[in-house]
Chain A
Amino acid sequence: MAKNDQLLGTLDLLVLKTLSHVGSMHGYGIVLHIQRVSDDLLRVEEGSLYPALHRIEEAGWITSEWRASENNRRAKYYKLTAKGRKQLARAEASWQRVVRGVGSLLKMA
């Protein structure tokens, strides 16, 4: 687990942040949102999104419900929980630390 913590952590962070931004969204919407906001810089592996979503839901950070989508298709919508909000704050902080750490390392070299 320990070795790809950071990697998984990144996807988790993206998902949580997206949901905190848009409120409630289905998987496909999350993919589009991340892509759009990052100006196509970040592309989420659609195949790894769902395992991540389910894992996060299992951890109690998000909840889901079936609803009709904007064009009347049934889709599963995810929403942040209070616990998830706290986790997001933690993950954001930790991300910022990593970015700072990596940044100073790069400046030094």
Chain B
Amino acid sequence: MSIFNRFANLFHSSRLDHDLEEELHSHLEMRAQDNLSSGMSKEDAELDARRRFGNAALIKESTRAQRIVLWLETVLQDAHFGLRTLRRSPGFTAVAVLTVALTIGATAAVFTVINSVLLRPLPYENPGRLITIGTFMPRENSEVTATPQYGVYKSKSRILEDAGAYSPQNFNLSGAGDPERLEGVVATGSFFTTLGVHAHRGRTFTPEEDRPEAEKVAVISHSLWQRHFNSDNGAVGKTILLDSVPYMVIGVLPQSFRFPDLNLQPDVIVPAALPPFKGDDSQPMLIVNVVGRIKPGVSLEQARSDLDNVLQQFLAGLHSKFGHFFDGASTRTRLLHTDLVGGVRRPLLVIMAAVGFVLLIGCLNIASLQLARAVQRSQEVGVRSALGAGKLRLLRQLITENLVLSACGALGGLLIAAVAAGLLRAAQLSALPHVADIRVDYRVLGFIVLITVASGLFFGLAPALWVNRSNPAETIGKGNRSTAGAGHRRLRNLLVVAELAVAMVLLAGAGLLVHSFSRLLAVDPGFDFHNVLTARISFPLTTLREQAPRFTFLDQVTQELRALPSVESVGITNSLPLLPYENSMSITIEGKPVPPKGMASFVPLLEVNPDYFHAMKISILGGRSFNASDRPGSGPVAIVNQTFVRRYFPGEDALGKRFRVPAPVGPPPTWITIVGIVADVHHLGLAQNVSPEVYSPLAQSRIYDGVTFVVRTSELESTSSALRRVVAKLDSNQPVSDLTSMEQKLSASLSARRFNMVALGAFALLALVLSAVGIFGVLSYSVAQRSHEIGVRMALGSDRGRVIKLVLREAAWLSLMGAFCGVAAALALTRFMSSLLYRTSAFDPLTIICVSALLIAVGILAGYLPAHRASRVDPIIALRAE
């Protein structure tokens, strides 16, 4: 038979079988028909036809043997035999398949996330050459790049092929339909060409359209196209109102487009349309983020030094008006990929390592189980090899059996990974970038196949080799009590200790995260986040342009809300906790030395109404809260937090002290008097340190972008819909956004840490269960093997209690050894996760002690069932089994 035919048959074997069956069937029919016409009864005719034929199945079998290749047949036989032996020991099979499914599933699920988040290339053209360019300002301790710097980077640098800049700017979409607050971005004309992104419908804008005098155009997101235009192809060319200004829609972005900044998911992108830079601050500027495309072959470091040169030349020739503002400024560059996923890299790698450990434990478990089985089966194998089965054939048989096992498990694992990917997508975790793109793809499949085959071969090979080296005469001679000596028991004990040690590392890691998380939850945020509704009101730049109508509008909403019986108080702020500060200012304090220009301290400024502190339950520690008398005409006042007092008035009474905000031009501004001191609020998140903060009365401030209502209410739901109603009644074009509760905001701010903790915790738990199964298996087997010895002991007067103790002592010893080795490994490894911990040492002794105790307790518990079984050994039966 030609090789080609063999392979053709391989693929057509079922068709062949079917063909043959039909042929035999047609033969039988013809024979029966002839029998019938020669006068036989119908039954006799068929019976005779079959009798003449003999055994149809047998014929099929021997005919097929001509067809199907021998080696394939053997493989199938092996697999079949493997399945049969697995079926014969359902307990073992269930544990083994479940172990493989869980470990491979968990590993594949984590790999799916890593693949989608870290490994898959960014959805841009040649993403490897995209970088972010920032200007680091030591005075601000942050990267701030304004449009003039971007301009020189783009025009002067020789290593950039292209560059684009953008800045977030939100818009109120009005006109037809419900008003909506849109996340938006203003970008330079080169933004899309730099990324190499093309529109799904229409086109993206050009540099010519990025000019102050050009007609206003907008590119919209796929999602806005769907919800606002019902995916209408005629959307391109239509006009939309953004902050009441008409913009023509020129393009729709593809669904796969991801903005190169994780914090932004803009629905509209419009040209920045800035006037050219004149060398001073006479023209409007924008703080921007810059994306550059470096020329092929340019390294990141070359790019950085070239761009920094350009920056230094620019700053040297800058107008002195900027003072010390740019002192020490330098350029920083990062690969866009690093910028996007850098933050989750470490946690994801820690989780991947954790799941790798789980996989290792699972494999050790299986190896241990297989070893026990192999020894039990050594007699069977001995008989088979004595009967002439080749060693290679026996070895292959065992490996195939293992691969069948792994394959069953891997299918389960694939299922688990797919379900996990779906759950993660549905959960919309803010902790993970591009969470919508998480899915099982061919790379994940390849990964599953790889680890399945690798683990199946490696951990199936150990027991297989073990069996193969045994001598048939010896094993048959020994009969069923072939204990195979202490060597094999030592090996199994070693495996279990290794499992426990690895489980210990995971438990320590998870324990540290739990500890750190509980510390974080114990942090007093400085306000009461229960029963507080939040709602953002963003004023468009063009309608309600004047300050007075804005205040009137806010007053009206406040009045209506206060009238609701469930509402306790209505606060308003321009800068909500758990979000970045809206505004900072440099201050100089009366009686303290005035810092040089551009060197003053920056302090976050929060503008709030008098009821804000009451609504948020922020304690007033000294002085007074704001009240109705703090009006635009009255003397400017401020309330500061404790940290402010500690920083600027250590050991002094801050009440009554004055500070002011230096103005770049004009007469010196008036002094602002501190009238109150409030408790610290963890504004940027529970894990962040508190900055010195200044609160000023909203009534004495200007309202820029918008404000957020914080409503303390006993009924969040009804108040939320009431608020919507009230706003819609007062101004039907006014959107309400970010309608949620402070509690949800706090929970969301912890989501990344919670994700890490839950993931690692789940894997640690899995590891603990798997290693408990491991101990259980080893001890059960050891009890079964030693039943004779136990019988002798009992016959000699040992009681049940002592037998139980005997087994439990073994369990305790194994657990102790595991915990001991595990602590050493944990101490070496947990330091890699210190960046994930909040005020918890990576060597936290309490955590280590607790999880060691847990591990040992579980280990001893796992030994209880085998111990109990040992105590039930009947000495007479055990001895008679000789």
* A residues at B contact (CB < 8 Å): 26-28, 45-48, 50-51, 54-55, 58, 69, 71, 73-76
Contact = CB atoms under 8 A, between A and B. Distances in A.
Contact of A73 (B20, B26, B52): B26
B142 interface: no
Given A46-B54, A71-B33, A76 B26 contact: yes
Contacts of B5: 58
Given A46-B54, A47-B53, A47-B59, A27 B66 contact: no
Nearest to A56: B66
A51 B26 CA distance: 16
B31 interface: yes
Contacts of A73: 26, 29-30
6 contacts: A46-B31, A48-B59, A50-B20, A58-B66, A75-B30, A76-B22
Given A46-B53, A50-B27, A75-B30, 8 more contacts: A26-B27, A27-B27, A28-B31, A46-B31, A47-B54, A47-B55, A75-B23, A76-B26
B1 A51 contact: no
Given A46-B52, A46-B53, A51 B30 contact: no
Contact of A55 (B24, B29, B66): B66
A50 B63 contact: yes
B23 A76 contact: yes
A47 B62 CA distance: 10
Which of A51, A55, A58 is packed against the most chain B CB atoms within 10 Å?
A: A51
A74 B26 contact: yes
A27 B23 contact: yes
Contacts of A58: 1, 5, 66-67
Interface residues of B, number: 23
A54 B22 contact: no
Contacts of A46: 27, 31, 52-54
Q: Which 5 A-B pairs have the closest CB atoms?
A: A47-B54, A28-B30, A51-B63, A75-B26, A76-B23
Contacts of A71: 33
B324 to A, nearest CB: 93
Nearest to B61: A51
Nearest to A75: B26
Interface in B62-78: 62-63, 66-67
Contacts, number: 56
A46 B35 CA distance: 15
A50 B30 contact: no
A29 to B, nearest CB: 8
A26 B66 contact: no
Contacts of B1: 58
A26 B54 contact: no
B24 A50 contact: yes
Nearest to B30: A28
Contacts of B52: 46
Interface string B557-582: 00000000000000000000000000
Which of B54, B58, B59 is packed against the most chain A CB atoms within 10 Å?
A: B59
Contacts of B58: 47
Interface in B307-350: none
Contacts of B62: 51
Nearest to B23: A76
A81 B27 CA distance: 23
B4 to A, nearest CB: 13
Contacts of B26: 26, 28, 69, 73-76
Contacts of B20: 50, 54
Which of B5, B26, B31 is packed against the most chain A CB atoms within 10 Å?
A: B26
Contacts of A76: 19, 22-23, 26
Contacts of A69: 26, 30
A71 B1 CA distance: 35
A47 B19 CA distance: 16
B31 to A, nearest CB: 6
A67 to B, nearest CB: 11
A48 to B, nearest CB: 8
B121 to A, nearest CB: 51
Given A28-B30, A58-B66, A50 B59 contact: yes
Interface in B55-107: 55, 58-59, 62-63, 66-67
Contacts of B27: 26-28, 46, 50, 75
A74 B55 CA distance: 22
Interface in B830-858: none
A69 B33 CA distance: 13
A51 B53 CA distance: 12
Interface in B12-40: 19-20, 22-24, 26-27, 29-31, 33
Contact of B66 (A28, A54, A74, A75): A54
B297 to A, nearest CB: 61
Contacts of B66: 51, 54-55, 58
Contacts of B30: 26, 28, 69, 73, 75
A108 B623 CA distance: 140
A25 B159 CA distance: 81
Contacts of B31: 28, 46
Which of A27, A46, A55 is packed against the most chain B CB atoms within 10 Å?
A: A46
A84 B30 CA distance: 27
A50 B63 CA distance: 7
A45 B52 CA distance: 8
Contacts of B67: 54, 58
A13 to B, nearest CB: 18
Which of A26, A48, A54, A71 is packed against the most chain B CB atoms within 10 Å?
A: A54
A76 B20 CA distance: 9
B326 to A, nearest CB: 87
Contacts of B33: 71
B332 to A, nearest CB: 73
Contacts of A54: 20, 63, 66-67
A76 B26 CA distance: 8
A46 B53 CA distance: 5
A26 B26 CA distance: 9
B24 to A, nearest CB: 7
Contacts of B22: 74, 76
B23 A51 contact: no
A26 B23 CA distance: 9
Contacts of A55: 66
A54 B60 CA distance: 11
A69 B27 CA distance: 11
A76 B53 CA distance: 17
B56 to A, nearest CB: 8
B661 to A, nearest CB: 96
A22 B20 CA distance: 23
Contacts of A75: 23, 26-27, 30
B765 to A, nearest CB: 58
A48 B62 CA distance: 9
Interface string B38-52: 000000000000001
Contact of B23 (A45, A47, A50): A50
A27 B49 CA distance: 14
A51 B29 contact: no
A54 B58 CA distance: 15
B9 to A, nearest CB: 10
Which of B29, B55, B58 is packed against the most chain A CB atoms within 10 Å?
A: B29
B426 to A, nearest CB: 52
B303 to A, nearest CB: 68
Nearest to B62: A51
A96 to B, nearest CB: 28
A51 B29 CA distance: 19
Which of B24, B30, B31, B58 is packed against the most chain A CB atoms within 10 Å?
A: B30
B658 to A, nearest CB: 104
A46 B23 CA distance: 12
Contacts of A26: 26-27, 30
Nearest to B59: A47
B7 to A, nearest CB: 14
